[in-house]
Structure 1
Amino acid sequence: MAYRLRPAEPFTAEVRAVARDQLAKAIDYLEHQPDGPHEAIHDARKRFKRVRALYRLIEPGNPDFQARENARIRDIAQSLSAVRDATALVETVHYLAGFTASPEESKALQIAHDALAARRDRIATEEHDLPARMLAAAQGCREAMAALDQLELPDAPRKTARLLGRAWRKHLRKAHSALDACNDHGNAETYHDLRKCGQTYWMHLSLLRDIWPSAMLAKQAECKTLIDLLGHEHDLSVLTAAINEQPGLFGNGDTLARLLAAIINRQQILRRKASDLAHEILAERAEVESSLIDLLWQRAAKAPAGKQRGNNRNAGSPQQESALRSAR
């Protein structure tokens, strides 16, 4: 099942179906592990992020359910994080090696790569309980699927549209605040907050893409670029923290200096690019865009079956065109 909500279908049933599909895929990864346990964990955690984003979108309609089930999925994901986080550090050094400025810097990155790879392998060896934790996570997913039987949301198009508009406005305001904080402070935490907002926005665009496919998909592509930039930026911040916590792992002072210089240089470039792109993506006020989501959902929900995508692909009033011009 595609990761999207169909406006012409009963809203509660659609939300349940999308969440169950993502949770079922996570269970399949955790139990069958087609590419090994660590890749299975990585794939399952991506499904968890999608479920949590879906629950944020429906929060105004059932805040108790959202709070409880978001916490459940968050805890399941955190129970599987250790080796994946260690692997991500190795991947970050490999990424950084593509932008080296000198042979000395390349050597420093190779030393860091070898040290972090050995650390990853050591953590993996020590995780004797990983199979049990993966089975427990799969069971947690089944419990989350069962909990969906209790979910009730407004199915009337107007009420659903109002719910979606409220959620859209809340998360866009949060994204605007995160971008303002990046402009004011520009530290690792603020950029990480912006990244999380970008991920949520990307998933919400995917979930509601049927209400105006051309605009939503175009904006989603821009948002994916932003997420990738901020993802690399965050990985470099995590790498910096690892170096500060265990400097002896990375060699002598010269090696550390070159390693940190490579991180800072790349991070500055990523932050500039991400900030410029975020300003383009978030050019419209939250109130305007959320109102548009409300109107588009109502229109799509009333459209004849099979005609929603065609009707919304290129249509739009001048006000709608203006509100989504950043998606063009």
Structure 2
Amino acid sequence: MSYRIRPDKAFDNEVQAAAAQQLNRVIAALTDRPEGLHEAVHTARKHIKRVRALYRLIAWRAPEFQQQENDRLREMARTLSSVRDATALIEASHYLHETATSEDEAQALARVIDVLTVRRDRLSQEETDLEEKAENAIATCRKALEALKAASFGSGRRQTARIFQNSWRKTGRKATKALSECHAEAHTDQFHELRKRSQDCWMHHALLRDIWPAAMHAKQLEAKALVDVLGRYLDLSILSEVTDREPHLFNGSDDRARLLEAIISRQQSARQEALTKARWIFADEPNREARTIKRLWLEAGD
């Protein structure tokens, strides 16, 4: 069973199976840990995002369930975030190093990577309750599975089509608003909101890809690319904040100045690339696109 809702199957069963698959993958990742606990946490957080996106898609059918489970899973994901966030900064510095514009910059950024790796390892050692957090996350997922089994999403084909229409319109409007605000202001909060809506776009196209496989898959890939660019932009913003907040990491060297210069340069490129991609992805008027999704769902089930 893949991450999708098929139009020729019972809606209740499809939602139950798709959500349960992701929750069970969280449990498996945190239990088996083939690449270690930190990588398991990263994997678990990705699957949690998919469940939350699915529940947002069906929120019009089960608003109380969606709110309850979104809160449950969001809080659980937050408990697992600290070391992963520190790792994301290392990944951002690797990107800066790979795109260095001079040998001096490359050498400085290589030293920055070492500094941030030491910082991550220190934070990891200080987070002595990560094992407990992982066990609590597993227990939370089991509670989420029980809540899922007790929930009912059954609806007729036309009602299901309206559910998707309403959710699609809501996500589209939020994305359009976030994009407009990103053009007006370069604040991190606006770009973070745009990334969340882009993640919904990516995952919702994956969930409903059977209604028009080629077009939905193409849009899904474009939205995923946008999510990645926005993630890079936001990680660089956080890296800049850490650099300002913890200047002692660099022991008064010139590496901090070179790092900040690199961040500013790459952020400008990432910002422009993200806005260009977003203008295309969210070009359709939300009401019109939502009506198209409704029509495609109804036609796919005939």
Q: Which amino acid aligns with 1:42?
A: H
* d(CA) in 1 for partners of 2:101, 2:25: 42
Does residue 125 (structure 1) correspond to residue 131 (structure 2)? The answer is no
Q: Which runs of 4+ in 1 moved over 4 A?
A: none
TM-score (structure 2 length as normaliser): 0.97
Per the alignment, residue 168 of structure 1 pairs with 168
Q: CA deviation at 1:111?
A: 2.6
Does residue 64 (structure 1) correspond to residue 80 (structure 2)? The answer is no
- Between the two proteins, what is the percent identity of the paired residues? 47
* d(CA) in 1 for partners of 2:181, 2:59: 25
Pairing of 1:127-206 with structure 2 (within 5 A)? 127-206=127-206
* d(CA) in 1 for partners of 2:125, 2:187: 34
Q: CA deviation at 1:16?
A: 0.9
Q: Which amino acid aligns with 2:82?
A: A
Deviates more, 1:208-217 or 1:223-232: 223-232
Per the alignment, residue 42 of structure 2 pairs with 42
Q: Which amino acid aligns with 1:246?
A: E
Q: Deviations over 1:193-213 (max 9, x none)?
A: 111111111000000000110
* d(CA) in 2 for partners of 1:125, 1:261: 31
* d(CA) in 1 for partners of 2:253, 2:52: 42
Contact 1:26 1:138 in 2 (8 A): yes
Pairing of 1:245-324 with structure 2 (within 5 A)? 245-252=245-252, 254-302=254-302
Contact 1:205 1:220 in 2 (8 A): yes
SS at match of 2:301: helix
Q: Which amino acid aligns with 1:7?
A: P
Q: CA deviation at 1:73?
A: 0.6
Q: CA deviation at 1:13?
A: 1.6
Per the alignment, residue 94 of structure 1 pairs with 94
Contact 1:12 1:151 in 2 (8 A): no
Contact 1:29 1:44 in 2 (8 A): yes
List runs of 5+ in structure 2 lacking aligned partners: none
Pairing of 1:106-117 with structure 2 (within 5 A)? 106-117=106-117
Per the alignment, residue 239 of structure 2 pairs with 239
Does residue 83 (structure 1) correspond to residue 83 (structure 2)? The answer is yes
Q: CA deviation at 1:154?
A: 4.0
Per the alignment, residue 305 of structure 1 pairs with none
* d(CA) in 1 for partners of 2:57, 2:224: 18
SS at match of 1:205: helix
Does residue 213 (structure 1) correspond to residue 213 (structure 2)? The answer is yes
SS at match of 1:5: coil
Per the alignment, residue 326 of structure 1 pairs with none
* d(CA) in 1 for partners of 2:3, 2:250: 42
Q: Which amino acid aligns with 1:5?
A: I
Per the alignment, residue 18 of structure 2 pairs with 18
Q: Which amino acid aligns with 1:2?
A: S
* d(CA) in 2 for partners of 1:14, 1:140: 22
Per the alignment, residue 7 of structure 1 pairs with 7
**What is the Cα-based RMSD across aligned positions, in Å?**
1.2
Q: Deviations over 1:1-40 (max 9, x none)?
A: 2100011111122111110010001100001101110111
Q: CA deviation at 1:83?
A: 1.3
Contact 1:111 1:250 in 2 (8 A): no
SS at match of 1:60: coil
Per the alignment, residue 226 of structure 2 pairs with 226
* d(CA) in 2 for partners of 1:277, 1:33: 35
SS at match of 2:217: helix
Contact 1:60 1:166 in 2 (8 A): yes
* d(CA) in 2 for partners of 1:39, 1:198: 24
SS at match of 1:61: coil
SS at match of 2:34: coil
Contact 1:111 1:251 in 2 (8 A): no
Q: Which amino acid aligns with 2:65?
A: F
Q: Which amino acid aligns with 1:203?
A: M
Q: Which amino acid aligns with 1:229?
A: V
Q: Which amino acid aligns with 2:153?
A: L
Q: Which amino acid aligns with 2:223?
A: C
